[in-house]
Structure formats: C-alpha cells, structure tokens
Structure 1
Amino acid sequence: MSPDSSVRVFAITSHQLVLTGLNTLLTDHPGNFLWLGGYPPSVSLFQELERHHPHIVILDDPSLNTLPTLPAHLAEHHIELILLTQSDELKGLEVQIQQGVLGIVHTSEPLGSILGALHAVSQQHLWVPARMRERLLTKAFSFMTQKSNKNPSGIHGLSIKEKELIRLIVHHPEAKALALGEWLGIQESTLRNRLSRIYQKLHLHGRAALVMFAQQYHLD
C-alpha cells in the first residue's frame, strides 16, 4: 500500500516505554497505518505536527495535562485524537470526549485495543473501553445534545455552501478532505477553512460531533 493511501499515525508522549510499545505494535501490524514515530510534549511539538501531517495522534494522559490547547489545535487541523489513559473516572473521560477526543484506550487493556481504536477512529467512529462504554457514551451524547439544544442559532448562520459540505460529510463520513474538495470542485485548503468556520459557528469539535448535530437538526 502506498504511503499516500495510508492513515498516518503520530504519538505524543514523554514515556519511552509507551513509544517503544507503539513502535513495535504498528511496525509488526502496519495494515493501513503508517507509523510516523513520536515526540515529547513541548513548545516545538506543533512544528512537528506541521512537518509530519498525521491523520491520527495517540496521546497519553500526562502529555494532555501539559498541552491543554492541543485538542482544539488538532480539531482545527482535522487530526483525530486517541487518548491513552490510566483513569477510570468517568467524568474526566466525558470531558475529553466533549473536547474532541474520538478514541480512549485504558492502559490496562490488551495492546490490540489500540489497533481497534485506530481502525474505529480512522472511520470517524468513537472508541471507548468496553467496560465503561454504555455509561460513557450515554453521558457524552447527552451532553452534546444539551449543548446543541442551547446553541441551535448557529444553524441560521450557515451559508448554502457550508450546508452542502455538511450534507456531503454526513453521507461520506470516512472521506478524506482531498476527496471532499474534489467532489465540491474546491481546493483542499478551501475545504478545510470552510469546515473550520462550520465548527466555529456550531461550537463543535470534529466530524463525529458534526454528523450527530446534522442528523439531529436534519441538515443531512
């Protein structure tokens, strides 16, 4: 499989054991994934993200604590986020989903769970630990519904072209930005800017939240 067709995976961690484990896992089981390596949380991290252009970032809990603006930055650049966590505290994990984390893997789970999360997230599907899935998803989706109910006015600010893009994403949630741009007859950079404006108007982070919102308000 050519690099251009692969899902590019990058890790952010200061723990060498985590990095070694991810390197072994994705080297031995590459599948559709291209392992880009990892980088510790630091001020130069954002330059590394620009250089590598990942599709998915794997991040551990401590790194997230030192980079509070990272989820918003990744959402703005249409990069999906998987969190490696040692926490069993539901409220904190709910907050992470609300801020744009699309995959959560507990460190006590088998290593193969990371591959499951990568496959799900690469298709814009939410992935959380099985033992807390029902409670976590119910609460997170309830929050999204309550939030969107309080901010439906953003719909009225959408342009015809923005609504067209939303409908296209709802019907093709797995399509890459390049393909979406070709279907609409616009440059990929134009599409990304348009999508960023949609997120800002609707107070959303990521495609999964956008698809849910669009279905709820019949924008599909």
Structure 2
Amino acid sequence: MIITTERAIRVFLVDDHRTTLWGLERLITGAERMQLVGSATSIMELLVDPESRNADVIVLDLDLGGVDSAAALAELHQTLSARVLVLTGARDADAHRRVVMAGARGVVRKEEPVDVLLRAIEKVHEGDVWINRALIGDIMDRLKGGNPPPDEHSAKISSLTPKELEVIATVVRHKGAKSLILAESLSISEHTLRNHLTVIYHKLELRGRLELYVYAKERGIGLVNS
C-alpha cells in the first residue's frame, strides 16, 4: 500500500494589532494541514521577510495602522507567489469588492468564526475564490458594465502576441493555479511569466488574473477551451 503525505499549507500572517496577530499565530499553529511560516505587522515587514517567498497563502489585514493594504496588492501579486486572503473588520461591500478587483483571492470578516477563516485559507490555497455569491455577481456586472466599445476591444486584442495569447489560454485553462504551475505548462520561468502578465495587463487595461480570466472567457481569447 502506498501512503502519501499531503504537504501543509504554508501561511504568512500580516496584522498590525499584536494581540490579534498572537491569536492568529496560535490558530494556524494548532490547525491541521497548516504551517505558520511567518508574521508581520506591515507590508514592508512582509516584503523583507524571506519566509514570505515560501508562503502559499498570505492572510492580510485590510487596515494596517490606518493604511489601506489594498493599495499594496498589485505589488504583492508581482513580487510573491502566494495567494492573498484579506481579513477585515469592515462590512462595507465596496471595500470587499475593491480588494478582490485588486487581486485578493478572498475576503473574511474578523467577526466570522475561526473555522470559517481556516476553511477560507484551504479553499484559496486550492485555487478557489472565497467571496459570497452576491459579490461575485456584482464584480462580473461591473466588469461588463465598464467595458469599452467593441472596436476598442478588437484593437487591444489584436495587439497581443502569439505568446501572450498562449499565456492567456493557459491562465484560463488552469484557473486558480499557482504561477509555478502556469510557468511549467508554458515551459518558461516564473519570472518570464510575470513579465508576460504585466504586459498583458497593460495592453488590456486589466488589474489582475481574476479580471483577465473573465475578460478572456467572455471573448474567447487565445482559442481557450475550458
């Protein structure tokens, strides 16, 4: 009989309240299938900590000492391979929508039971998006409602190179996959993949892989079959 051991989900925590951070650290340490690889009280601490490069999921407080961490999501997406799950005390749906549109893979309110946070970490790690159905529908509607005229879309899409079309097709085919999986599928390095995605986002005026996925699915970019 072959016995396989599933690797623990490596979690990095970011919260400026040390008491909250202490509690989160113990929650993750005591959870099955999870490993605490580091913690920080600011975005700067997160980025300079070498363990952030080893994380699978970053649990990020939305309000870090009065600083909106949503503004750093684009940099985190470009710098780190981990998926970001936002933890917030805000009930404002606009704030939740904003962080997802900026690249976060999910939102959990601090008032939720701890098992909800643990489940959200697991689902985000698996490649899912942890947001409620109403918010998903609203995001899709906003993406569609903000679309420029078709001729402008055509011009943008025609500017894509064959390789960029291949990258987009791979993003859609491997929905939610880590950058390493995408890069291996394309036979390129993660660094090269990030460069391609940066150019694609610029050409299509998108802000992350969620928007790219929706945009590509709606327009069949890259002869996508998924």
Q: TM-score range by the shorter chain?
A: 0.7 to 0.9
1:137 is matched with 136
Inter-partner Cα distance in structure 2 for 1:88 and 1:69: 19
SS at match of 1:59: strand
SS at match of 1:69: helix
Q: Alpha-carbon deviation of 1:51?
A: 5.0
Change (3 A) 1:206 1:22: farther
Query: What is the identity percentage for the equivalent residue pairs of Structure 1 and Structure 2?
Result: 27
Contact 1:74 1:80 (8 Å CA) reproduced:
no
Between structure 1 and structure 2, the one with the greater Rg is: 2
Alignment of 1:38-49 (within 5 A): 38-41=39-42, 43-48=44-49
Q: Alpha-carbon deviation of 1:148?
A: 4.2
- Structure 1 residue 168 and structure 2 residue 170: aligned? yes
Change (3 A) 1:139 1:157: same
- Structure 1 residue 57 and structure 2 residue 58: aligned? yes
Q: Alpha-carbon deviation of 1:171?
A: 1.3
Q: Which runs of 5 or more residues in structure 2 are unaligned? A: none
> What TM-score, normalized to structure 1?
0.83
Contact 2:57 2:85 (8 Å CA) reproduced:
yes
Contact 2:13 2:25 (8 Å CA) reproduced:
no
Q: Alpha-carbon deviation of 1:106?
A: 0.9
Deviations 1:172-208 (A, max 9, x none): 1243323322332222221221122222222333333
- Structure 1 residue 11 and structure 2 residue 16: aligned? no
Q: Counterpart amino acid of 1:139?
A: D
Q: Alpha-carbon deviation of 1:70?
A: 0.9
Contact 1:13 1:60 (8 Å CA) reproduced:
yes
Q: Counterpart amino acid of 1:75?
A: H
Deviations 1:60-119 (A, max 9, x none): 132185145311112223442211111222222222222222211111111011122112
- Size of the aligned set, in residue pairs, is 213
Change (3 A) 1:139 1:102: same
SS at match of 1:141: helix
Q: Which runs of 5 or more residues in structure 1 are unaligned? A: none
Change (3 A) 1:103 1:64: farther
> What TM-score, normalized to structure 2?
0.81
Inter-partner Cα distance in structure 2 for 1:173 and 1:134: 18
SS at match of 1:173: coil
Inter-partner Cα distance in structure 2 for 1:217 and 1:205: 17
